[in-house]
Amino acid sequence: MHKCLRCGKDFEKMNEGMFGGCPECGSKLFLYVREGEEEHATELVRRLEKKTETAGKLPLEGAALEGVEPLEEAGGGGELSSEGDKIESLKIVSPGVYELNLDTLLGRRGIIMRLKEDGSYAIHLPSLFEKKEKARRNRHTP
Partner 1 sequence: MVRRRRTSGILAWLLEALFFKKRSVKIGIYGPPNAGKTTLTNRIIHTFADEEEDVGTASEIPHETRRAVRRGGILIDLKQNLKQFQRTNFNSNPQPLSDPTRNGDPTRNGDPSTNPSTKSGRKGRAKLKLDVVDTPGLATKIDFHDFLAYGLREEEAKQRAKEATEGVIEAIKWLDDIDGVILLMDATQDPYTQTNVVIIGNMEARGIPVVIAANKIDLSSAAPQKIKKAFPQHFVIPISALTGENMPEFYAAMVRRFR
Binding to partner 1, residues 63-82 (CB under 8 A): 65-66
Alpha carbons within 13 A on the beta-carbon side of 11: 20
Verify binding: residue 119, partner 1, rule CB under 8 A. Answer: no
Verify binding: residue 108, partner 1, rule CB under 8 A. Answer: yes
Verify binding: residue 134, partner 1, rule CB under 8 A. Answer: yes
> Cα(121)–Cα(124) distance, rounded to whole angstroms?
10
Q: How far is CA 16 from the centre of its chain?
A: 22
Of 25, 103, 23, 108, the closest CA to residue 14 belongs to 23
Residues engaged in binding partner 1 (CB under 8 A): 5, 19, 28-32, 34, 40, 44, 47-48, 51-52, 55, 65-66, 90, 95-103, 105-108, 111, 134, 140-142
